[in-house]
Homo-oligomer: A and B are copies of this chain.
Amino acid sequence: IVRREVVRVITPGTIMDMNLIEEKSNNFLVCAALNADEWGLAALDVFTGDFQTARWNGREMAAFQAEIMRLAPKELLLHPSLANAYPELVSGWKKQGILVSEYPREGLTLEQAVTVLKRHFTVSSLDAFGCAHWPGAIVASAIALRYVQETQKANLRHISRLTSYTTEQFMRLDPATRRNLELTQTMREGSRKGSLLGVIDKTVTAMGGRLIKRWIEQPLTQVTEIHHRQRIVSALIDDGLLRQDVRAGLRSVYDLERLAGKVAYGSANGRDLLALATSLQALPEILDKLRQGPPILAEVAAQIDPLTAIASRIRETIVDEPPVSVRDGGIIRPGFHEEVDELREAAGSGKEWLAHLEQRERERTGIRSLKVGFNKVFGYYIEVTRAHMASVPEDYIRKQTLANGERYITPELKNYEEKILGAEEKLTQLEYRLFTELRSSIEEVLPQLQVTADQVAQLDVWASFAQVAVEQGYICPEIHDNSQISIQGGRHPVVEAHLGPGLFVPNDTAFSDDQTLLLITGPNMAGKSTYMRQVALIVLLAQVGAFVPAASASIGVVDRIFTRVGASDDLATGQSTFMVEMTEVAHILHHASSRSLVVLDEVGRGTSTYDGMAIAWAVAEAIQRLGAKSLFATHYHELVHLEETLPGVRCYNIAVRESGDDIAFLHQIRLGGVNKSYGIQVARLAGLPSMVINRAKEILSGLEQKDGKKAISIPS
């Protein structure tokens, strides 16, 4: 009877099975607490050891919530007091399909939390982590750590750092905007392909893949930080050969973060350690190249410790092609350990003797079909078919009767068997011990290994930005703190990649103090939505520190991007399309500032003509008052009159060339409003029967005659 005990508890947030998790995403366990009127959040990737914490003051619940959505946790643990005070938050998360639990049952005081963290990190103060005065963050972090300690029942040495951040460092993106802009996945299929990430991600390591995703979701707001990234990317663009070498070198680097995790969990096998060695050994050459580049790249190189001692120690200890199992031997390199070599010799010579035995016994007995075999129950045996039973010598001892033969042993055979098996058993035990010693020695340097992994990931992302810039012809935007945005020849990165080079029609954009609201009219299909999203994506890429698809660009950093596009019903919760739309618009009006970028597509479309027009009109006025940089697309041509009455409003339209009944979309944005939307032409393109089309034209001309196309004027 084997005594079983719980070795590890697997929960959605703490899955360690490589096959169950996505390589290019973090799998975060997220914990949240509310302590001393402060929201705190901790995110822990148990595989990579990545551990972060953030805080918000009590009034910033929306920002706190948006951050949880960004992290897309599989599992969310809440301090019981938070869960009790905000049941509506809990039910909202559950609706999103997140597994929410309260933990620990009895709660955790701030003092207990501090103790948990200090003990794990063996520090006397939390100052080094930058969160010593963040009560909410401390409690959330302690919850995460305690939960993982309890479920994983393993050494957690790879969780060696806690990084604290605030979302003010980053551009705020609400979940709707992240979804609408298709940053990391498409709206329709949720696939990476077709998203911004799908175009921009040319990273070659798994760590780089995770980091670029995080950067795309967290654009910066500090000009100096953005400039730092830009300088490195520029250097990597300027020296194409250097960039190729760096990227080629990085291709040999395995997932250092997850390998470190496996070492900490004691689940790393010989192949994992070899992958670690291969990865580390690829670094010196990369660093050499960097050092030969401009000073900024030499600085990058100086941050990366290739841990050469560890790499050579692994190489010396382990064979070139170790088996998957660490308990069955065959893992230690010949020449590394004297006793290993001796035992191998002993087992080997026994096997050699056995190999000769068959030949010798055939000659001695004259039985040509005599065979030596092995099975797990009886060990080595000599098998003779029934036909030759008479020739079996006296010294054979019968062990087993088969359908058409017998199996025998001899004392000599068993003697050698014992030698072989005995040596093999000792050998596997010894090899296992040597292997675990090696693994433990790597555990000692986990913190350094993680820093290296981090730096390598950043290098990979910078090289990816540079590579995309070169391949797609992106330029370095000028970043500043003014309120102006000016883009010449901007393109939509994803649509451009889809169309192929040279086919996308570039367009300009300009925001300044006296041009804050761009009112865009033009027919369907002309590309209004594409244009507006393109502007948002260029600004976002610029603040990520990447180059942008434009001829030139000057970007004053924005604090948030808001979007209200598309339409979707939510019948089950009883929300009509229009209600969803209005709720999102209300959110924007309540939260946008003069430093925000706002994209509004067809506000008011979901209700009747006059109601919709009145709402769109009033919303445009409100946005103009806020002074936010706004792109406002509308079918209500009547709104073009706002340009005359409101400062900062400028009308644009997307050009269409008409010839007879046919229309050609030129995809060119230009100043001025239009009063024609070509809806009927589009309907014809879609295949509506011509009888219906003709009738629609007739009705339209009737409507227009009646209206007399007279200008609508509203008292302002």
A residues adjacent to B (C-beta < 8 A)? 97, 182, 186-189, 194, 376-379, 399-401, 418, 421-422, 425, 494-495, 498, 523-525, 529-530, 533, 565-572, 574, 576-579, 582-583, 585-587, 589-590, 604-615, 617-619, 621-622, 635-637, 677-680, 682-683, 685-689, 691-693, 695-700, 702-704, 706-707, 712, 714-715
Contacts and interface: CB of A to CB of B under 8 A. Distances in A.
A677 B635 contact: no
Nearest to A414: B399
Given A401-B422, A610-B703, A714-B702, A569 B621 contact: no
A702 B638 CA distance: 13
A557 to B, nearest CB: 26
B611 A677 contact: yes
A-B complex: 3 closest residue pairs judged by Cβ atoms: A611-B679, A607-B679, A582-B686
B524 A576 contact: yes
Contacts of A572: 186, 188, 194, 494-495, 498
Contacts of A378: 379, 421
24 contacts: A378-B379, A399-B418, A495-B571, A566-B569, A579-B685, A586-B686, A586-B689, A589-B689, A604-B679, A606-B679, A607-B679, A611-B700, A613-B703, A614-B679, A614-B680, A614-B699, A617-B695, A617-B699, A618-B692, A618-B693, A619-B692, A622-B692, A702-B714, A706-B712
Copies in the complex: 2
A374 to B, nearest CB: 11
Contacts of A637: 608
Given A524-B606, A609-B636, A612-B679, 13 more contacts: A182-B571, A377-B425, A400-B425, A401-B422, A524-B607, A525-B574, A566-B567, A579-B685, A590-B689, A607-B682, A615-B696, A618-B693, A621-B695
Contacts of A700: 610-611, 613-614
A216 to B, nearest CB: 18
A682 B582 contact: yes
A632 to B, nearest CB: 14
A627 to B, nearest CB: 15
A93 to B, nearest CB: 15
A567 B567 contact: yes
B682 A578 contact: yes
